Amino acid sequence: MKSRKIAAMLTTLFLLSSTSVANAATINYTVKAGDSLWSISQFYKTTTSKIASINNLDTSIYIYPGQALKVDDNRSYNYTVAAGDTLWKLSLKFNTTVDSIMKANNLTVSTIYIGQGLYIPSFDNSSSQVKTTNYKTAAGDNLWTIAEKFNTSMEAIEKSNMLASNILMPGQILTVPVNSTQIVKPQGITMIRKKTNDNYGDLYDWTNGRRIFTVGQQAKLIDLENPELWFNIKYYGGSNHADIVPLHYTDTNRMKLLFNNWSWNNKRPMILKFTQGGTQYQLAVSLTGMPHGTTDIYDNGVNGHFDMYFYNSTSHVSNETSSAHQKSVLTANGQ
pLDDT band, residue 25 (cuts 50/70/90)? low
Output the CA–CA distances (angstroms, integers) from residue 26 to 41, 46, 95, 123, 183, in the order listed: 13, 11, 12, 9, 20
DSSP 266-333: -EEEEEEEEEETTEEEEEEEEEE---BS--S--SSS-SSBEEEE-BT---TTT----HHHHHHHHHHT
Q: Give the β-pairing of 218-223 and 117-120.
A: unpaired
Q: What angle do CA 147, 152, 156 make, to 5 degrees?
A: 90
In this predicted structure, what is the pLDDT of residue 28?
77
Q: In this structure, are residues 219 and 276 in contact, taking their beta carbons and an 8 Å threshold?
A: no
The CB density around residue 131, as the number of other CB atoms within 10 Å, is 11
Q: What angle do CA 316, 213, 127 make, to 5 degrees?
A: 125
CATH superfamily of 76-122: LysM domain (3.10.350.10)
Using CA atoms, how far apart are residues 273 and 85, in angstroms rounded to an integer? 21
Q: Is the pLDDT of residue 249 over 90?
A: yes
pLDDT band, residue 69 (cuts 50/70/90)? confident
pLDDT band, residue 20 (cuts 50/70/90)? very low
Using CA atoms, how far apart are residues 335 and 325, in angstroms rounded to an integer? 13
What's this model's pTM, rounded to 2 decimal places?
A: 0.64
The CB density around residue 183, as the number of other CB atoms within 10 Å, is 22
Q: Give the β-pairing of 77-80 and 117-120.
A: antiparallel
The 10s digit of each residue's pLDDT in 172-210 is 999 999 888 888 888 899 999 999 899 999 999 999 999
| Amino acid, res. 29 | Y
Cα 156 → chain centroid: 15
Domain ranges of the chain: 22-75, 76-122, 131-178, 206-332
Options 3.30.530.20, 3.40.50.300, 3.10.350.10, 3.40.50.720; CATH for 22-75 is 3.10.350.10
Nearest to 186 by CA among 133, 238, 130: 133
Strand partners, 26: 72
Q: Is the pLDDT of residue 215 over 50?
A: yes
Using CA atoms, how far apart are residues 207 and 62, in angstroms rounded to an integer? 25
The 10s digit of each residue's pLDDT in 258-315 is 998 999 999 999 999 998 877 889 999 999 999 999 999 999 999 999 999 999 999 9
Task: List all residues 6 or more positions away from 278 whose beta carbon is below 8 Å from its beta carbon.
Answer: 89, 92, 93
Judged on CB neighbours under 10 Å (0-12, 13-18, 19+), 245 is: buried
Cα 302 → chain centroid: 30
Task: List all residues 6 or more positions away from 124 whose beta carbon is below 8 Å from its beta carbon.
Answer: 96, 97, 99, 100
In this predicted structure, what is the pLDDT of residue 123?
54
DSSP code, position 265? T
| Same fold for the pair 76-122 and 131-178 | yes
Q: Which position has the higher pLDDT, 1 or 58? A: 58
Buried b (16+ CB within 10 A) or exposed e, 305-314: bbbbbbbbbb
Q: In this structure, are residues 234 and 241 in contact, taking their beta carbons and an 8 Å threshold?
A: no
Q: Is the pLDDT of residue 103 over 60?
A: yes
What is the rounded average pLDDT for all residues in the chain?
85
Q: In this structure, are residues 8 and 108 in contact, taking their beta carbons and an 8 Å threshold?
A: no
Output the CA–CA distances (angstroms, integers) from residue 46 to 32, 49, 70, 122, in the order listed: 18, 9, 12, 13
In CATH, what class is 131-178? alpha beta
Q: In this structure, are residues 279 and 189 in contact, taking their beta carbons and an 8 Å threshold?
A: no
In this predicted structure, what is the pLDDT of residue 137?
96
